[in-house]
Each structure stands twice: as C-alpha cells, then as structure tokens.
Amino acid sequence: MKYIIEHMEQGFSEWVTLEYAQIIRDLGASNLILSSLPSETEESDIPQKLRELGLQWTTKPLTQIREEFPELPELEKQRVCLLDPRAKGDLETADSSKFDYFVFGGILGDHPPRDRTRELMTAYPDLLIGKRLGDKQMTTDTAIRTTQLIIEGQIPFEKIKFIDYPEFRFSKNEATEMPFRYVLDAQGRPILPEGMLDLIKKDSEQSLDDIL
Ligand SMILES: C[S@@+](CC[C@H](N)C(=O)[O-])C[C@H]1O[C@@H](n2cnc3c(N)ncnc32)[C@H](O)[C@@H]1O
C-alpha cells in the first residue's frame, strides 16, 4: 500500500520534520512519497533527518509522481483515497481492496480547522475518493497511523483506542492541551512522533516567555 503526503506548508518546520520522520519509520521509506514540494526545491532543502531516513520526495503533483517514480502503480481514477475530515463516509477495513493509494494533506493542525484538505479534492476532482477518519482532527502522522491500522491491520475504526485533546503536563504550573485526536499505545499513552513531547514543552516555555 502506498501513502502520499501532498506537502501544503511553507518549508519544513521542526514539527513537520518530526511528524514526517515518524511516518517514514512507521510505513517504511519505500511506501511514502512526499509530493508537490515547491518547484525550486533541492535535495539540500530537505531536512537531514528526513534524507537519512530515505524520504522519497518530488516537486511533481500527485497526478505526475510516476514520472519521478515509474515503479509505482498507476494512479487509477477512483482507486486513490483522500483522507478528508469533511468526507461523507468513514474509512472501513473493506476499503483495503478498493484503493491503491492513500493521500493526506501535509498540513499542520490548526484550531479551529480551516479545511485546507478540501483544496486537494478541488485540485484532483476526478481522481480522488474522500474518506473520513471520524469527526475529530488528527495530526498527519496520527491520520496515517489510523489508516494503516484499518487498512493493513484490518482493525475497524471503532476498535481503535484513541484519546481526544490530551493534556501534557511538564510541571505543576506547565501543561499544554493538544487540540487533536491521538491513537493510544498499549500502556494507554497517546502516540506522538519521537521528540515531539520535547518540542511541545519547548514551544510552551517559549509562549510563556512571550507572555511574561
Ligand atoms: C492536521 S490534518 C489537517 C486538517 C486541517 N486543519 C485542514 O485544514 O484540513 C492533516 C491531514 O490529516 C488527515 N486527517 C486528519 N484528521 C482527519 C480526519 N478526522 N479524517 C480524515 N482525514 C484526517 C487529512 O488528510 C489532513 O489533510
């Protein structure tokens, strides 16, 4: 199964880099393509961490990724699924035989969500079929993790254990609530990309400094 992230942010923030790094670890580098990077992008613009993990990237849009990666299966109409928080139907285990590709917006979570994923449906209207992963906004790595559990793990959405809007407490006075849904691990803790907790802590200290 192939996963595509249509990159829709400016450059690579630390947050995006940590998310993409975790997605490569979860899927294996050969199963992920990062598409639609700005046309002037060079290998040196890709964060070192992602290069070391073997990120496959292209400036080509979704519809032309095979020009860069000819070994990939054809992108057939109706066999490419866009994970879209505004889609009508939820992704199901039976969808594993209906799609060859799963596409995600490389968009940072925002609160309230701005529905930028819809731009992808507008950009590729004939190609994509939209499916939802429940009614809460997930981070891109969580959306991919959930898709992998449903499609490759054959675990129905209702059986996956999630936590909504977890609070991460760093000290008595310092806590940050994240406005997203996360998958829980076997110990009942939200699964975050490696290094993300430190980044959340750093960001919360920074915003505290800005206030004081
Ligand atoms: C952080 S979300 C971005 C949501 C965003 N606020 C927007 O403007 O659409 C990044 C990507 O994860 C996927 N995603 C997140 N939550 C989802 C959900 N509940 N259902 C389907 N896809 C979801 C979508 O592909 C989305 O583009």
Chain segment 116-152, per-residue pLDDT in tens: 999 999 999 899 999 999 999 999 999 999 999 999 9
Judge whether residue 161 has pLDDT over 70.
yes
**CATH class for the region spanning 2-155:** alpha beta
How far apart CA 81 and CA 98 sit, in angstroms, is 9
Average pLDDT value for residue range 46-63: 97
**pLDDT value at position 212?**
54
Atom of ligand 1 at shortest distance to CA of 137? 16
CA of 71 to the centre of ligand 1 (A): 28
Atom of ligand 1 at shortest distance to CA of 139? 1
**Of 136, 143, 151, 52, residue with least CA distance to 101:** 151
CA of 46 to the centre of ligand 1 (A): 23
Question: 83: alpha, beta or left, given left = phi > 0 and alpha = psi -120 to 50?
Answer: beta
Average pLDDT value for residue range 196-201: 92
Question: 195: alpha, beta or left, given left = phi > 0 and alpha = psi -120 to 50?
Answer: left
- CB of 147 closer than 6 A to ligand 1? no
- CB of 205 closer than 6 A to ligand 1? no
CA of 164 to the centre of ligand 1 (A): 14
pLDDT top residue among 22 and 10: 22
DSSP string for 139-207: -HHHHHHHHHHHHTS---GGGS-EEES-EEE-SSS-EEE--SEEEB-TTS-B---TTHHHHHHHHHHHH
Domain range list for the chain: 2-155
